[in-house]
């Protein structure tokens, strides 16, 4: 994962987490006192899941998906609007490409101009600072508690043994005391200590000591220290987001109420009042200035939270079917709304497919990419070998642009929307700046001149659900078909890498795609470009013209020779002049040098 992907994931995750925190607060306000203390605590585990999981879990509805636009460029004008502007005398929105007929209308976007590397560096500095604080405080605490006094009082040890049996804590737990703390606590994971405040023991009765130990053993048995460590590391990652910190602060407070609730289930009803009195006794001398560590959980939090804890004790009731139902429904609702964003909807951040084929060799063809950042991938079918220039970009997903018109053609034919390559779709009477577009079109002319309105019409008739079905079956790139059915392939949701383009072309050529042989042959025929004494060249260009600049260009296809077939995919990008025509020129130069075409 590069710095762009890393910081994008962190920001996206942080936004999702923030909205989930607000959702939890809102739901709790609506339910008020209908939830038992433990359920309020369990809700926060959804926040942990949300912040450590890169994806959602189903294709369910998701309110927070609308926030993705904070990380993505947003469209401000449609190409139709630009055409109307052009004929009113302003032609700044139109770019004419060269004689290859690689026509493209400009898409205006709001682009966020900031350096992701700088942003990543700032985040990393903050994360390192918080991590060092975490290490320092825990090392200091470890040294302190490892040398504390072991409890030798037989009465206290008997209570300790009783509480272990009551809570069924079987693992070794060392009982120690410290005269510098005011609140009992559990410290450590692998070597755990139950630490008692030595100065407070003198004023406590046996029942108070029992209540304290039960509370701490419930913490220990519930693995609350482990949860504390996990949340601390999440806070380090999201150190810049105060909403996440507020959420986890509330979670720690709710953890104490949840712990109180579990302790009450071990006690008789007449003992509940005594448990509340124990909390009040300890709070009289409680000093809240101690440094919290991730490896400890304590009996008290602060005085301000006393009222809520006492109210929970007074209103305690054993679990009822109604409370369990309400709590389960609340968590299910939160999970379905805030966690289920669908793995596919996160794929726009996932630029890389991760792996390059093992059967490849590096191509030294950088001289042809002068002025462009780009990649060239060639697959030799006879020798089953890839030739790749610029491995990192060869696996980077970008918009397929007009190269996806191959896919649209196949779906249109298969669904009967396009009867055959000669079927005419009438011109929509919109005036376009390209003469070839301002007339009726069939599949052959629409592919040759890359006629956008033709493919927009076909896509509209196909519909979102059907298109999504075929894109999934084709395993095309990130397989993300947005609701904008006429533009999802053009600088929008659908993304594909050059290596994936090769895989698509190989399946297309070998009749392995979910289309009839007849329809595959029809599309093969209309993408034929030229022929010479070396072989037959087939392919399709694509250009991303954004804010009047050609920023991305594709040329994909294959060369059929007598004894072999070579598949290729070239992608280039630049501030300007990175068109499909330029990508085609680069490709033909490389193919000529290699003696392929």
Catalytically active residues, by annotation: 402
CB 398 within 8 A of CB 357: no
Which among 310, 254, 218, 345 is positioned nearest to 28, based on CA atoms?
Answer: 254
Separation CA 221–CA 214 (nearest Å): 10
> What residue has token string 């989930």?
20
Tokens (6 digits) for 42? 């369990």
> What residue has token string 């590397």?
117
SS (H, E, C) 117-141: HHHHHHHHHHHHHHHHHHHHHHHHH
3-state secondary structure of 546: strand
> What residue has token string 């609308």?
66
- Determine how many CB atoms are found less than 10 A away from the CB of residue 534: 14
CA angle 201, 203, 208 (to 5 degrees): 70
Beta strands, E only, 162-311: 174-178, 185-187, 193-197, 296-298
- Determine how many CB atoms are found less than 10 A away from the CB of residue 70: 11
Which among 348, 315, 313 is positioned nearest to 65, based on CA atoms?
Answer: 348
CB 82 within 8 A of CB 545: no
Which among 533, 537, 550, 545 is positioned nearest to 590, based on CA atoms?
Answer: 537
Separation CA 431–CA 449 (nearest Å): 15
CB 250 within 8 A of CB 319: no
Q: How far is CA 503 from CA 31, 519, 568, in A?
A: 52, 19, 10
Which segments of 399-475 does DSSP mark as H helices, in order? Answer: 405-414, 443-448, 452-462, 464-474
Which among 288, 222, 229 is positioned nearest to 257, based on CA atoms?
Answer: 222
Angle between helices 464-474 and 405-414 (to 10 degrees): 110
Using the CB atoms, write b or e for 281-294: b if 16+ within 10 Å: bbbeebeeeeeebb
CB 115 within 8 A of CB 141: no
Separation CA 125–CA 486 (nearest Å): 43
Tokens (6 digits) for 111? 């682009």
Separation CA 105–CA 546 (nearest Å): 9
Separation CA 489–CA 445 (nearest Å): 20
């Amino acid at each position: 994962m590069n710095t762009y992907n890393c910081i994008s994931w962190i920001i996206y995750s942080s936004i999702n987490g923030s909205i989930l925190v607000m959702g939890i607060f809102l739901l709790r306000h609506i339910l008020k006192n209908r939830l038992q203390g433990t359920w309020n605590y369990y809700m926060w585990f959804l926040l942990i899941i949300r912040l450590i999981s890169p994806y959602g879990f189903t294709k369910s509805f998701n309110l927070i998906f609308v926030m993705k636009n904070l990380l993505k460029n947003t469209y401000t004008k449609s190409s139709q609007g630009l055409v109307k502007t052009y004929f009113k005398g302003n032609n700044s929105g139109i770019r004419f490409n060269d004689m290859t007929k690689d026509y493209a209308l400009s898409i205006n976007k709001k682009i966020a101009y900031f350096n992701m590397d700088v942003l990543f560096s700032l985040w990393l500095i903050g994360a390192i600072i918080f991590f060092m604080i975490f290490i320092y405080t825990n090392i200091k605490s470890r040294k302190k508690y490892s040398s504390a006094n072991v409890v030798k009082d037989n009465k206290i040890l008997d209570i300790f043994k009783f509480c272990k049996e009551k809570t069924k804590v079987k693992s070794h737990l060392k009982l120690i005391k410290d005269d510098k703390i005011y609140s009992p606590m559990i410290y450590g994971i692998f070597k755990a200590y139950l630490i008692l405040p030595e100065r407070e023991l003198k004023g406590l009765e046996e029942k108070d000591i029992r209540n304290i130990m039960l509370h701490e053993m419930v913490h220990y048995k519930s693995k609350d220290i482990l949860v504390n460590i996990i949340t601390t590391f999440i806070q380090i990652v999201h150190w810049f987001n105060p909403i996440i910190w507020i959420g986890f602060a509330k979670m720690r407070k709710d953890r104490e109420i949840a712990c109180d609730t579990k302790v009450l289930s071990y006690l008789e009803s007449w003992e509940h009042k005594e448990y509340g009195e124990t909390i009040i006794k300890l709070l009289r001398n409680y000093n809240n200035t101690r440094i919290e560590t991730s490896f400890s959980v304590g009996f008290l939090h602060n005085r301000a939270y006393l009222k809520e804890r006492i109210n929970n004790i007074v209103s305690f009731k054993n679990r009822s079917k109604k409370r369990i139902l309400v709590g389960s429904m609340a968590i299910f609702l939160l999970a379905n709304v805030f966690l289920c964003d669908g793995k596919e909807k996160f794929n726009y951040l996932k630029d890389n497919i991760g792996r390059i084929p093992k059967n490849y060799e590096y191509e030294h063809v950088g001289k042809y990419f002068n002025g462009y950042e780009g990649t060239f991938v060639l697959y030799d079918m006879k020798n089953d070998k890839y030739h790749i220039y610029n491995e990192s970009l060869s696996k980077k997903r970008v918009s397929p642009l007009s190269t996806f018109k191959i896919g649209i053609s196949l779906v249109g034919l298969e669904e009967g929307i396009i009867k055959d390559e000669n079927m005419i779709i009438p011109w929509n009477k919109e005036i376009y700046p390209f003469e070839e577009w301002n007339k009726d079109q069939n599949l052959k002319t629409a592919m040759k001149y890359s006629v956008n309105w033709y493919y927009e019409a076909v896509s509209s008739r196909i519909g979102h659900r059907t298109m999504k079905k075929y894109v999934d079956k084709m395993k095309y790139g990130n397989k993300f078909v947005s609701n904008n059915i006429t533009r999802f392939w053009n600088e929008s949701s659908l993304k594909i890498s050059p290596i994936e383009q090769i895989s698509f072309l190989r399946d297309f050529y070998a009749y392995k795609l979910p289309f009839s042989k007849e329809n595959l042959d029809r599309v093969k025929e209309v993408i034929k470009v030229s022929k010479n004494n070396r072989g037959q060249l087939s392919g399709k260009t694509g250009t991303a013209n954004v804010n009047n600049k050609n920023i991305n260009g594709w040329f994909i296809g294959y060369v059929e020779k007598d004894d072999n077939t070579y598949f290729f995919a070239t992608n280039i990008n630049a501030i300007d002049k990175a068109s499909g025509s330029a990508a085609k020129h680069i490709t033909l130069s490389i193919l000529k040098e290699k003696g392929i075409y």
